[in-house]
Structure 1
Amino acid sequence: MASDKVFGFEEVAKHNVTKDCWIIIAGKVYDVTPFMDEHPGGDEVLLAVTGKDATADFEDIGHSDSAREMMEKYHIGQIDASTIPVKRTYVNPQQAPSHVDKDNDFLIKVLQFFVPILILGLAFGIRQYTKAE
């Protein structure tokens, strides 16, 4: 069965264009190439989550149950979790902040939540507008 196949992260990351697009969500690999034109947020949204684990992006949007059911037809296998790179950011100790500003921390969290939603809304609006013409 194809869904039993295990892929390494590097192999999945190579499929990052409109005509060949794979994504990783919750440990599963999906070939969403046939869905690119149908995705409500446009193909740009799917392309933006290639080359990483897209689970958080997927969950943040709040997909419907029918969307989750639809995913199964694109499921092609599992990801070998040990091959997913851990993203680490190095901060020079001399540049590290000496204290945490609670107000700025809250603002950053709010922006991290709302900016992707606003971008997706804008992309959806543009897509709807261009379809009407």
Structure 2
Amino acid sequence: MPDMKEYPMIEVARHSTADSCWLVIDGKVYDTTDFLLEHPGGDDIVVESSGRDATREFEDVGHSGEARAQLEDLLIGTLRDPTPEETERAEDEARKSGEKPAAADAGSAMLKTIAGWVLPIVLVGLAYLLRKYAK
């Protein structure tokens, strides 16, 4: 395989729309923009996963060997760690645009997990205990 261009995740994140749709799967960067209309599951699912690592989503679907071969035609490079300058520039852009830093997003994801799974389990447990001991 010829030397592939290396992209930091910061660059991949800039391509998260139907007009410019990049995905990372297993450390490889794919430009899926021209494939969106051909995708059997519709373009929305691809665009939702764009601009980030979509390995889990890709594997969870269980794509065929043919789909994996098609993916190789869309390969544009590999993922690399950002340089300190790129990281600083991305943080500056996030501050200027009012976006939350990635750490804040992680906390938000944790709250969603708690609200989505832990809270219902606790409520079911309480309902069970009330039913069992309220007699």
State the TM bucket, normalised to the shorter chain.
Answer: 0.5 to 0.7
Flag the structure with more relative contact order, 1 or 2, with Cα contacts below 8 A and sequence separation at least 6: 1
CA distance in 2, matches of 1:88, 1:52: 14
SS in 2 for 1:35: helix
CA distance in 2, matches of 1:20, 1:72: 18
- Which structure dedicates a bigger proportion of its chain to helix? 2
Please report how far the alpha carbon of residue 3 of structure 1 lies from its aligned counterpart in structure 2 after TM superposition: 6.0
TM-score (norm 2): 0.60
**1:2 and 1:76 in contact (8 A); partners too:** no
**1:29 and 1:76 in contact (8 A); partners too:** yes
Aligned to 2:12: 12
The ranges of structure 1 where at least 4 consecutive aligned residues each deviate by more than 2 angstroms after the TM superposition are: 85-92
**1:3 and 1:78 in contact (8 A); partners too:** no
**2:21 and 2:51 in contact (8 A); partners too:** no
CA distance in 2, matches of 1:11, 1:44: 21
Q: Percent identity?
A: 39
Aligned to 1:88: 106
Larger Rg: 2
Please report how far the alpha carbon of residue 4 of structure 1 lies from its aligned counterpart in structure 2 after TM superposition: 1.1
TM-score (norm 1): 0.61
Aligned to 2:74: 74
Please report how far the alpha carbon of residue 16 of structure 1 lies from its aligned counterpart in structure 2 after TM superposition: 1.4
Deviations 1:80-122 (A, max 9, x none): 1x34x68632779xxxx9xxx7x939xxxxxxxxxxxxxxxxx
Aligned to 1:104: 121
CA-atom RMSD in angstroms: 3.0
SS in 2 for 1:71: helix
Matches within 5 A, 1:1-133: 4-80=4-80, 82-83=81-82, 88-89=106-107, 104=121
CA distance in 1, matches of 2:2, 2:16: 20
